[in-house]
Structure 1
Amino acid sequence: MTPEPVLPPHFRFGTATAAAQVEGAADTDGRGPSIWDTFCSEPGRVRGGDTPTVACDHYHRMPEDVAMLGELGVDEYRFSISWSRVLPGGLRGTDDEGVNRAGLDFYSRLVDELLSAGVRPVPTLYHWDLPQALQDAGGWLERATSEALGDYAALLAETLGDRVTRWLTLNEMNVHTLYGHALTDHAPALGMGLDCLPVAHNLLRAHGLAVDAIRGAARPAGGDGAGGGPLEVGVVQQHFPVLPATDSEEDTGAADLFRILTNWLFSDPILRGAYPEAWVAEMVAASAGLTSDQLAADLAVISRPLDLYGVNYYEPTRIEAPRPDKDYSGVLEVDIPADMPFSPVRIEGVERTDFDWPVIPSGLRDILVTLHERYPGLPPVVVTENGCSYHDEPGDGGRVRDDRRIAFQRAHLAAVAEAIDAGVDVRGYYVWSAMDNFEWAAGYAERFGLVHVDRATQSRTRKDSWHWYRELIAAHRAGR
């Protein structure tokens, strides 16, 4: 049997979810609509016509789900907070008249349940589900939306900051910008191409404003328990190696451009205080209508010091310069428009998940090492998402035998161990996902969870991977 990876004693294990993917209760207790509610109501947007209206019904089953996390033995649980559940209209308003107290109370109870179960709560403020009211006012094309998120962050830190000590601001700004704004595959489906650069800048600025708001409002608890310790603020970015299809100048140039626009466009401003190239900064400033002084002031906010850096990893991407008359559709889960100066190429000769994503654990090691080398001041890293979709269903006796997921997670944890050996300060690893959930435009067809969720009954079944992860965590704590 393949040995389990050896990780440092201080290493922390966790799982992750997002509000729009698990909570359901879309119109319960005063929650307002988000851009994902609107997107999913439009025919043809989501596979099978699925919607997150019920999802995993986590809003009503939260104590049961938290009890499973406690039984699993994870150190930390990363979840996101639904902006439209807390502020249905998107804005706090004078004297907090825009605040939905029932929504805030849900997250307060969730935090308390997690702490009682010995699990550290790690909330993400924004995981793609902008209140529809803010989208109607211009969404992330408006600077005011950055300020609205900062105020939302302050409200949450004021409410939960006596018990929450680790905060994450935004999730995967690159995916949100590309899929939902440059393309039409995710909400809000604007299809703007490179005209969406103001979205990227305003998301980054929102992150910086949120960091300031959390530091100004949170009151971290003392002690060494699940909720104790110093205040930590970080961000979550998706990173992946970008590989040229060949060594030709055309392909390496196309890969470099894709890498800049999907990786460094978002991490360089945060970790270096500058956009990756002068031409990128010029394009951002011009598209957002900023003077050079205004851009510099924004970058000072965007690059506030962080306590941790979250890295989501799923797969590398192979890129070539577009070939005339070549069909590139279906290579990725989204199609890059034909008029772009780069095109994705299918990675052959490797195992693939049931979502048709290539399984390349070495890519996680490689991107962690690349980040370590690119950013000498890189904060401690947590792998905040890593997982796979396999369509395993309960068999005889109700058991879900998902050996492929176990092999996947084991291999990727081994890649993390290799990155640590190479000098990268990686402090933790969160499996995506705690349970099967609503997988955005793929609906419910894809299953990433350690726990199987029956769509008809909402019953939860711990998969073999759940039991493996539990044993791994227990062995690590025992020093075995």
Structure 2
Amino acid sequence: MLLSLALGTIASVLPKDFKWGTATAAFQVEGAWNVSGRGQCIWDYFQSFPGRIYMNETAHVADDLYHRYPQDIQIMNTLGIPNLRVSISWTRILPTGDVNNVNQAGVDFYNQLFDALLAAGITPWVTLFHWDLPQTYNNFTNQSTWLNPDVANKFNDYADFCFNTFGNKIKHWITMNEIQTFTWIGYGVGTHAPGRCSPSWGSWCAEIGGGGNSSTEPYIAAHNALIAHALAVQTYRNKYQKAQGGKIGMTISSAYAEPWNISEPQDHNAVDVAVAFQYGWFGDPQVFGHYPKEMTDRITGGRLPAFNESMSALLKGSYDFLGLNYYTSSYVHYTGVPGDNFGNDGRFWSSATNATGHLIGPYADSTWLNVYPPGFRKILRWIKNRYNDPHIYVFENGVSCPGESQLPPALALNDTFRMNYVFDHIMEMVDAVLHDKVKVKGYFLWSLLDNFEWTDGFNVRFGITYVDYNNNLTRTIKDSGYMYQNLIQSLGETTGSSENSIGLSERFKNLRTLDE
């Protein structure tokens, strides 16, 4: 009864054109790493170094979506999921990253994928860059990674090619996924590709990335990625948007924060600083044309690049929507200690527990993820208030269940932990719309499939579909998938056959396996 009332509340509150979907990323699901002319990306290179990925696993095969996408579309039809966020593998269509070297087999693959989705009534939303930079740009001599401003122009050429090639089918473009993540972890900590950081962070930085400087390089890489985003948006608007009728934006990952000591005013101030160092880092330039004051006041020594007048003008307004990836939150404590690298520049530290030892929320299977649904509503409200009430799409929200990867498939399907996470977060989103009047326009659950989770390999699972890596990559829908199916069907935006509907009271029964 309470669940029915909750669903009724959602249906009456969310806009009629609200988009429900799920998400994937090319490197994490496609596999076929050396098939039909695909070039090498920086993650292909990075994962070749022993010890960088859990159990030295690779994404060479991943979920083999490259060959099995018809089956995965069938899963979406079974669940009635009407929107899918995918990314294009830059080197599958441009093996060296150069638009003068086109791999037609890669272009054909994406045309076939998009056509199959559209034929099934599923709308593709396309991310241009989900971390898989061409390895040809990872030249340590001239630093042709995101540290080189010219990579922004190369990205714009790649984006132009995609708009021209696929724009008659794709009406929703996401330029970048989580700039903060791929710049800070890739150029600050060095545990993601391309593996650059200061020597004090770890020996792997010299081994893989050729060294680095954690105090400057994350900011430089992020600066160039922001310019790449702005150039691509300008290209889309000037050459394609009017004729193609699409929209374009970026998605930004951000946790929320709570004060470590509620009696300490500086800890309350640190909350806003923490969010500005995550979401504001990339939201402010798009909306205002400059970096947050919280950052410019704290990052000393000229380490934070500045936008010139033309770049500022190009960035300002470079969005049709603002994207959000939300997973977790933490407590923050003000230290007042100036930093000389990214980790300390905010003058605060984060913790899963507060001053009294209270845990902000249960641990997921991922060590970085504590479950805190209220933070979802709070970050949505923060974005609304800071950026003059924009349209917001939630492009990722999901969780890994504790111990799930160690369970036999039959037990892993009963993912109550994930069901609770998803439902609780969606209800917080509804409260943000109902009470805070936030203009949330869509929600994409991460993820459609268990997949290659970067340095965690296959050791953690985020999917609403179980992938059996020991049994021919067999797919089996989890209970969370059926819960999501019923939620979407209760709200009216579905695809596929209604005969696949399973009542909420039956969500632990009638589980079906979709074998290849």
TM-score range, shorter chain: 0.7 to 0.9
Distance 1:478 1:214, change over 3 A: closer
Q: Report what 1:317 is aligned to.
A: 330
Show the counterpart of 1:42: 49
Instruction: Decide whether the 8 Å contact of 1:244 with 1:255 is kept in 2.
Output: yes
| Counterpart selection for 2:214 from 193, 214, 225 | 193
Report the CA distance shift for 1:350/1:216 in structure 2 as closer, same or farther (over 3 A).
same
1:153 matched to 2:159? The reply is yes
Residues in 2 aligned to 1:339 and 1:273: alpha-carbon distance in whole angstroms: 21
Q: Distance in 1 between matches of 2:344 and 2:451?
A: 32
The amino acid across from 1:151 in the alignment is D
- The answer for the alignment partner of 1:208 in structure 2 is 230
C-alpha displacement at 1:166, in angstroms? 0.8
Match of 1:120 in 2: 123
CA deviation string 1:13-43 (max 9, x = no partner)? 1000111100111111111111111111111
5 Å matches for 1:216-235? 216-218=238-240, 230-235=245-250
CA distance in structure 2 between the aligned counterparts of 1:30 and 1:478, rounded to whole angstroms: 38
**Contact residue 137 and residue 144 of structure 2 kept, 8 A:** yes
Q: Is 1:371 matched up with 2:378?
A: no
Question: Kindly tell me: are residues 236 and 285 of structure 1, through their superposed partners in 2, closer, same or farther at Cα, counting changes over 3 Å?
Answer: farther
Q: Provide the secondary structure at the position in 1 that maps to 2:215.
A: helix
Residues 41-99 of structure 1 show CA distances to partners (whole Å, capped at 9, x for unaligned) of 1111112211111111111111111221222211210011111111111121xxx3x11
**Alignment match of 1:29 (pick from 32, 36, 52):** 36
Q: Aligned residue for 2:500? A: none
* Aligned residue in 2 for 1:225: none
Match of 1:329 in 2: none
Are 1:108 and 2:119 matched, yes or no? Answer: no
Change in CA separation of 1:396 and 1:433 when aligned onto 2, cut-off 3 Å: closer
- Looking at structure 2, the residues matched to 385 and 167 of structure 1 have their Cα atoms a distance apart, in angstroms, of 15
Separation of aligned partners in 2, 1:340 and 1:424 = 27
Which amino acid in structure 2 is aligned with residue 193 of structure 1? Answer: S
Tell me by how many angstroms 1:250 deviates.
Answer: 5.7
Aligned partner of 1:301 in structure 2 is: 314
Contact 1:162–1:218 (8 Å) recurs in 2: no
Residue 447 of structure 1 corresponds to 461
Task: Please give the alpha-carbon distance, in whole angstroms, between the structure 2 residues aligned to 1:250 and 1:82.
Answer: 44
Worse-matched range after superposition: 14-23 or 388-397:
388-397
Asked whether the equivalents of residues 151 and 213 of structure 1 are also in contact (C-alpha less than 8 Å), the reply is no
Corresponding residue to 1:129 among 127, 132, 145: 132
Structure 2 CA distance for partners of 1:403 and 1:89, relative to 1, 3 Å: same
Partner of 1:327: none
| 1:330 corresponding residue in structure 2 | none
Q: Which residue of 1 aligns with 2:88?
A: 81
Q: State the distance in 2 between where 1:201 and 1:343 align.
A: 24
Aligned length: 455
User: Deviations for 1:85-139, whole angstroms, at most 9, x for unmatched residues?
Assistant: 11111121xxx3x111111111111110110010111000001111111122521
Q: Does 1:409 align with 2:422?
A: yes
For residues 59-78 of structure 1, the aligned pairs below 5 Å read 59-78=66-85
Instruction: Tell me the amino acid that sits aligned with residue 469 of structure 1.
Output: Y
Alignment of 1:264-413 (within 5 A): 264-277=280-293, 280=296, 286-287=302-303, 295-321=308-334, 341-347=347-353, 348=359, 350-356=361-367, 357-378=369-390, 380-390=391-401, 391-392=403-404, 400-413=413-426
**Matched residue of 1:140: which SS?**
coil
Contact 2:298 2:346 in 1 (8 A): no
- Secondary structure at the aligned position of 1:103 is classed as helix
- Structure 1: 5+ residue stretches without partners: 223-229, 325-335
AA aligned to 1:359 is V
Q: Quick check: 1:245–1:251 contact (8 Å CA) kept in 2?
A: yes
Task: Check conservation: 1:399, 1:464, Cα contact below 8 A.
Answer: no
- Please list every run of 5 or more consecutive structure 2 residues that lacks an aligned counterpart in the other structure: 198-212, 354-358, 495-502, 504-516
Q: Select which of 444, 450, 470 maps to 2:485.
A: 470
In structure 2, the CA distance between the partners of 1:284 and 1:212, relative to structure 1 (3 Å rule), is farther
Superposition deviation, residue 371 in structure 1: 0.6
| Per-residue CA distance 1:415-471 (angstroms, 9 max, x = gap) | 110110111011110000000000011111110001000112111011111111111
Q: Take 2:240 and 2:395, find their aligned partners in 1: how far apart are those partners?
A: 22
Structure 1 residue 399 displacement after superposition: 7.6
Q: Is the Cα–Cα contact under 8 Å of residues 327 and 398 in structure 2 kept in the other structure? A: yes
Query: Are 1:20 and 2:22 matched, yes or no?
Result: no
2: distance between equivalents of 1:193 and 1:349? 29
Per the alignment, do residues 338 and 202 of structure 1 end up closer, same or farther by CA in structure 2, a change over 3 Å counting? Answer: closer
1:473–1:285 CA distance, 2 compared to 1 (3 A): farther
Q: 2:279 aligns to what?
A: 263
RMSD of Structure 2 on Structure 1 (CA): 2.8
Q: Which region of structure 1 is more displaced relative to structure 2, 34-43 or 341-350?
A: 341-350
Aligned letter for 2:376? L
SS in structure 2 opposite 1:405?
Answer: helix
Between the two proteins, what is the percent identity of the paired residues?
34
